Structure 1
Amino acid sequence: MRVAELSELSNVSVASIKFYAREGLLAGNRVGYNQTEYGPEHIVRLRLIKALINVAGLSIASVRRVLEAVDDEQVGVEEVLERAHEAVAPTNLPAVGEETLQRVRELFDELGWNVPEDSVGFRQTAAVISQYEQIGRADLSERASRYGPPVMDIARGDMEAVAQTQDRNTIAQTVVIGTILGDSMLSAMRKAAREHLSDAS
């Protein structure tokens, strides 16, 4: 199909499709000078790009890094997962003191989680707790262990979805969708749950 048909089927404007192509997010099949053909896989790709930008709020640069990992057959699923984590993590995380780092170590030890200290999850957890402590609130770190069991259930569900898929490209996309859009879903549902509890009271 040509770009006009791709635009109609994907509900993405021709201008946006050409922009994504220029930014290296979408690669069609060249069939001649200034002519590109697209297939059903490009509709799926456009929907993924739109979700990452419009729903997850990623920058074009972050989307490019994630999709490069998805497309590179030499990149393992673990690295795709790490890049997806990095894409949604805040940039320039503040420095964290040793006392806070120790509290995070103890938290993960209590939960029985083996989390490298240089990982996105460890660093971001430490940064959040540190910011709370700087405004005089120690209660977050004190109740953080309560988040552990439900979060672990969600993480298991993510990994089970990956394990059920054999195709490497589909696995990579599942990791990206589950990590990035899953985080957006959790945030939205948490707000909905609070609204429910507020109305119930």
Structure 2
Amino acid sequence: MKISELSRRSGVSVATIKYYLREDVLPAGEPTSSNQASYGDGHLRRLRLIRALIDIGGLSLARVRDALAATENDELPLHDAFGAVMLGLDDPGMTVADDDTVGEVRDWLADRNWTIAPDAPATRRLAELIGILRTFGLPVTAESFSAAADTAEATAIDEVRYAHDQPDRIASVEMMLIGTVVYERAMAMVRRLALEAASARIDDGTGIDDPARG
């Protein structure tokens, strides 16, 4: 398809597509003349992924580029590619977590038998968030997140299996990338809805002992 058709089908302007091409986040098309190229369904899929990462995930173009690089590095085992994707979604230098809290989180992860890379940004990010909650007087520990971790683990297993079942490596890593960004936002929305529902039950005297009530 021509770039105009790619723009129409993706909802991304021609100017933005050309920008993504210049910034190497979108692969070049197949040249058809000195100043034109043809694009395929792979370009359409990649454009949708880029827009989701930017619009929903809030990632900068530089971070999108780094994350997408993992989808194309054939030298990385698939697990390491998944890890590179996770690493690209956060910046460990931005955290201000207390070392004791980081140690607490790492001990909790070890107790769960979760194999996590030592430099995984999410470890320090969770420790930082626990620290923030504590400054507001909330009696939170890493163990407080065990129930949520059980649910997350069950859904993560399904996500990873689904990613492994994709027809090619790029599709597998892309699935992990978009699943991580969008699914996290979806879970955050579910929690907001749960908070509103719990508040309504407490305010009207219904109570929250039986979540199925009301």
Q: Distance in 1 between matches of 2:117 and 2:5?
A: 47
- CA deviations 1:135-161 (Å, max 9, x no partner) are 554424351223221121122122121
- SS of match in other structure, 2:31: strand
The percentage of counterpart residues that share the same residue type is: 29
Alignment of 1:1-201 (within 5 A): 1-27=1-27, 28-90=29-91, 92-201=93-202
Structure with greater proportional helix content: 1
Considering only aligned residues, what root-mean-square deviation do their CA atoms show, in Å?
Answer: 2.2
Deviates more, 1:40-49 or 1:128-137: 128-137
Q: Distance in 2 between matches of 1:165 and 1:119?
A: 25
Contact 1:158 1:178 in 2 (8 A): yes
Contact 1:80 1:175 in 2 (8 A): no
Going from structure 1 to structure 2, the CA distance change for 1:90 and 1:118 (only over 3 Å counts) comes to closer
- What runs of 5+ residues in structure 1 fail to find an aligned partner? none
Going from structure 1 to structure 2, the CA distance change for 1:170 and 1:100 (only over 3 Å counts) comes to same
Aligned residues: 201
- CA deviations 1:6-59 (Å, max 9, x no partner) are 111212111111111111111212222121111122111111111111111111
Going from structure 1 to structure 2, the CA distance change for 1:141 and 1:73 (only over 3 Å counts) comes to closer
Contact 2:91 2:121 in 1 (8 A): no
Contact 1:84 1:180 in 2 (8 A): no
- CA deviations 1:139-188 (Å, max 9, x no partner) are 24351223221121122122121232242121111111122222222222
Contact 1:58 1:87 in 2 (8 A): no
Q: Distance in 2 between matches of 1:116 and 1:64?
A: 22
Query: For residue 4 of structure 1, what is the amino acid of its counterpart?
Result: S
Contact 1:111 1:148 in 2 (8 A): no
Contact 1:69 1:83 in 2 (8 A): yes
